[in-house]
Amino acid sequence: MIDKRLLEILVCPVTKGPLVFDKDKSELISISGRLAYPIRNDIPVMLEDEARQLSEDEAEALRKGATAS
């Protein structure tokens, strides 16, 4: 589990935008960057080379979920 205070200060290193925590996949998601940064051993790996590219469908679903909140 990631500390909520840490999530508040972390930003995407590419877009400098906010991140969304995906507990099920253990990732920090940058919706605008369409990137998912892994969390390994409770440590976010905030490297672009380590990030997973989100599909357009994943990004769109997250955008819709973010606007519904």
Q: For the chain, what is the domain count?
A: 1
Tell me the CATH number at 28: 2.20.25.10
The domain in which residue 47 lies consists of 4-68
Q: Of 67 and 32, which is predicted with more confidence?
A: 32
Cα–Cα dist 63/69, whole Å: 10
pLDDT score, position 10: 94
Q: Of 13 and 6, which is predicted with more confidence?
A: 13
pLDDT score, position 59: 87
Tens digits of residue pLDDT in 19-53? 999 999 999 999 999 999 999 998 999 999 999 99
SS3 for 28? Answer: strand
pLDDT score, position 11: 96
